[in-house]
Chains A and B, each alone.
Chain A
Amino acid sequence: MDDLTLEVEAGDIYGFIGHNGAGKSTTLKAVVGVLSFEQGDIFVDGHSVKREPLACKQVMAFIPDNPDLYPQLTGIQYLNFIADIYGVGKAQRNELIKKYAATFELTDNLGDIVSSYSHGMKQKLVIIGALIHKPKLLVMDEPFVGLDPKATYSMKEIMREICASGGAIFFSTHVLEVAEKLCNKIAIIKGGKLVANGVTQEVIGNESLEETFLELYNEK
């Protein structure tokens, strides 16, 4: 990454767009502390990811592009594991696991071992795990891949709810139509550099996001 500066504010749904290999996943993983970085810093809720990683991680949640989960745990064991790690109390975990498992139609499968889940079911489980501690910042890498249409709709609704309640979302996607409709802010990255950034309407002007993206990549 080269001199990347972004600010995600409370209430933002921030879309992060770029070619394969542009550096989207690297950036997202650096934000959530999965990857370390040499220069610069990332601040989450006023805390430095470098100096106070635990304080940052406590208020964040990450949904990776590939839902690699512990195959030997059952769905409910995974959710309890995540809830324990984030220190979620009994009442909140019972309420939110029940709520989100019902939303994503996963309740019946929570007793099954994760290795028996399909890709979409694993993705739903990761999403539920990310939501049960009510994160202030939700960082997602291609969150809609593998989700069925109903789950995709539910996910968009949840994203809007989080932002309406003062949270923020920073996510990467290749689905430009979704980004254009859902995001109030957009950042476009090319070769590790930010080439466009700001309020969605200001970035795209009178064009569609797809046209803007292709122009920036000199492919139109």
Chain B
Amino acid sequence: MKNKLFILLKMQFMGSFGINKLLHGKRKGQAVGFGMAIAAVLALFALFEGIACLYAWLFAFGLAEAAVANAGSLYMGLVFLLTSFILFVFSLANVNGKVFGFRDYEMTVSLPVETWQIAVSKIAFLYLSNLAATVAIMVPFWIFGAAYLGFSPATHGAIVLLLFFAPLFPTFLAVFFGTLLAIATARMKHKAAMQTVFFLVIVVAAVIVPYLLPQGKGSGEELAAMAAVFSFVAVLFEKFWVAAAYSAVSAALFVLPCLFIGKFFTKINTLILSHKATSKYQFKEQKTASKLKAVFVKEIKRLFGCPVYAMNTICAPVMMIVFPVIILLSSETDFGAIRTLFQNQGYFGAFCLTLVSVFSTIPTTFCAISMEGKNFWILRSAPLSVRTVLTAKLLVNTVIETLPGMVITLIYGILLGVGAGYIAFAVICGALLSTACGIFGLLFNLKFPMLEWENETIPVKRGKSGIFTMLVNFAAFVVVGVSGWFLLSVMPIAALAVMMVLAVLYVLIGLFFLNGKGEDLYNKLIG
């Protein structure tokens, strides 16, 4: 008889990443050719690794040029720290829903399997997912680091060891805090919104903290200051025994949540899954609203009610608010340097568009249709025009992405002393591009909807629409940016005009497809 833990792990694996649907999908459009699917997965993997290689090369080359002492261990230490942080954030978002409160909890617990085995299988699957991510991130950095910085045998040994042990500590931290968070918010009415706020605070803190650390003047001093601050992680890759000790402590810590959750698995899940109804509602006079407002409000509540959706889309506008604060917190030299750069005011427009591109390529619309899921019958059976539904979904993007972008561009313009005309250009052009991003996000989600899902993470993280939206919007920003950049130093006004025309064109193309093809696609959706 197969080990039950292995069977539980296998079931999770088959149910993840669309593997079972790929192998056994019977519905029209679900059964994809195996070769096609493998090709798509390989292409995505190649894209991800390509980006990792680019960053690895840039970082390794930069450190090699700066000739910093212990550059190799500092380089790998920073990569290790970043990887751990990414794993922690993603795992934390997955604890409630993957380790606890998962959809098939009742069925799984009713099986003749020890509850500790279920708990361990859940945490082990989280670790294995993180292990795959660690290998995918760290190996390209390892290769480029070895090529440009020349690692010692101890560093190579530490890397090999930490490839397997690095995911343990962030997984432990995520399970620990995720469990605390799940328990603390279990009886709260708006627990999803509370979790969203918690995640945002963590991400914002992670962005701000490095700016609060001691900083030097000039690139040499900056690197020296960075080396001093991060020497605690660099040491992991300098002495093999430190890496071995860290691995041993991580493994020991990792066992703790397994033991604790294994013992209290049913109790924790009962607390999370049994909602406490207040049953104290006193009937009040109700107010009316238009159809558009009703759908819009529903969409906003949906966004804030799903931490993983909110984290994917709200992080960007929150960062837009945080960055001016960071600029103010930075040293006078940094701020002065930025002001000097933008004395060529055309660069301000390019800078703001770059900023908007970073924040707008993932609009709220990229999974706005998929998020309807099994509730889609409500919109389909209601007397709502397709245009009203799509407009409401676009309006959410306008409020969450476009409007904050406009306000922050305005604040940047004032802070940096840029002329009113240039500010107006940056605000309008950025808003147009952000709107177009939203339209294309909606179009791609209509083209690649994902209405059948068991967990909200699936349509947000694994939908094809997210990938296409990001790539196409990014390409559009590159086209607009490159077109303007070439003209910027020669004829700034012409450059801005070209960028504005391209932005308007992008919006018009999006609207053309949304009004025609988009409405047809919506009508063909099956809820």
Contact = CB atoms under 8 A, between A and B. Distances in A.
Nearest to B188: A113
Contact of A90 (B276, B285, B527): B285
Nearest to B300: A72
Nearest to B294: A84
Interface stretch (A27-35, A174-182, A183-191, A196-204): A27-35
B378 A70 contact: yes
Interface string B409-429: 000000000000000000000
B4 interface: no
A76 B283 CA distance: 9
B286 A97 contact: yes
Interface stretch (B50-58, B198-206, B337-345, B379-387): B379-387
Contacts of B287: 80, 90
Contacts of B384: 54, 57, 85
B114 to A, nearest CB: 29
Interface in A53-90: 54-55, 57-58, 60-62, 64, 66, 68-73, 75-77, 79-90
Interface string A90-128: 100110011001000001111111011100000000000
A36 interface: yes
A110 B288 contact: no
Interface in A32-57: 32-36, 54-55, 57
A35 B375 CA distance: 14
Contacts, number: 121
B267 interface: no
A86 B288 contact: no
B523 interface: yes
A70 B381 contact: no
B286 A94 contact: yes
Interface in A1-43: 29, 32-36
Interface residues of B, number: 44
Contacts of B526: 35
Contacts of A69: 375, 378
B3 to A, nearest CB: 35
Interface stretch (B59-67, B78-86, B248-256, B301-309): B301-309
B288 A90 contact: yes
A72 B189 CA distance: 9
Interface in B280-296: 280-281, 283, 285-291, 293-295
A111 B377 contact: no
Contacts of B293: 84
B390 interface: no
Nearest to B306: A72
B301 A72 contact: yes
B277 interface: yes
Given A72-B301, A112-B277, A85 B285 contact: no
A109 B281 contact: yes
Nearest to B376: A34
B305 A98 contact: no
Contacts of B302: 70, 72
Nearest to B303: A72
Contact of B279 (A76, A89, A108): A108
A58 B382 CA distance: 7
Contact of A66 (B297, B298, B374): B374
A111 B523 contact: no
Interface residues of A, number: 51
A87 B290 CA distance: 8
B524 interface: yes
Contact of A62 (B297, B373, B377): B377
A201 B190 CA distance: 52
Nearest to B525: A36
A86 B287 CA distance: 14
Interface of B is mostly: loop
B301 A87 contact: no
Contacts of B285: 90, 94
A61 to B, nearest CB: 8
A76 B281 contact: yes
Contacts of A112: 189, 275, 277-279, 281
Contacts of A55: 383
B255 to A, nearest CB: 33
B277 A116 contact: yes
B464 to A, nearest CB: 22
A101 B281 CA distance: 11
B189 A93 contact: no
B368 interface: no
Contact of B281 (A60, A66, A81, A110): A110
Given A73-B298, A90-B288, A93-B288, A108 B375 contact: no
B298 A54 contact: no
A62 B385 contact: no
Nearest to B285: A94
Nearest to B288: A90
Contacts of A36: 523-524
A154 B365 CA distance: 41
Contacts of A83: 286, 288
Contacts of B385: 54
Contacts of A82: 378, 382
B382 A85 contact: yes
B525 to A, nearest CB: 9
Given A33-B380, A34-B377, A36-B523, A109 B279 contact: yes
Nearest to B292: A84
Of B297, B381, B526, chain A has the most CB atoms within 10 Å of the CB of B381
Contact of B383 (A86, A109, A117): A86
A141 to B, nearest CB: 10
A108 B280 contact: yes
Contact of A84 (B281, B289, B305): B289
Interface of A: 29, 32-36, 54-55, 57-58, 60-62, 64, 66, 68-73, 75-77, 79-90, 93-94, 97-98, 101, 107-113, 115-117
Question: What are the nearest 10 A-B pairs in CB distance?
Answer: A72-B305, A116-B275, A111-B281, A84-B294, A68-B374, A57-B383, A62-B381, A58-B383, A108-B279, A34-B380
16 contacts: A62-B381, A70-B302, A72-B304, A76-B281, A84-B288, A85-B291, A86-B382, A87-B291, A88-B288, A89-B288, A90-B287, A90-B288, A93-B288, A108-B281, A111-B280, A113-B190
Given A79-B286, A87-B291, A107-B281, 9 more contacts: A33-B380, A36-B523, A54-B383, A54-B385, A68-B377, A72-B302, A72-B304, A85-B384, A86-B382
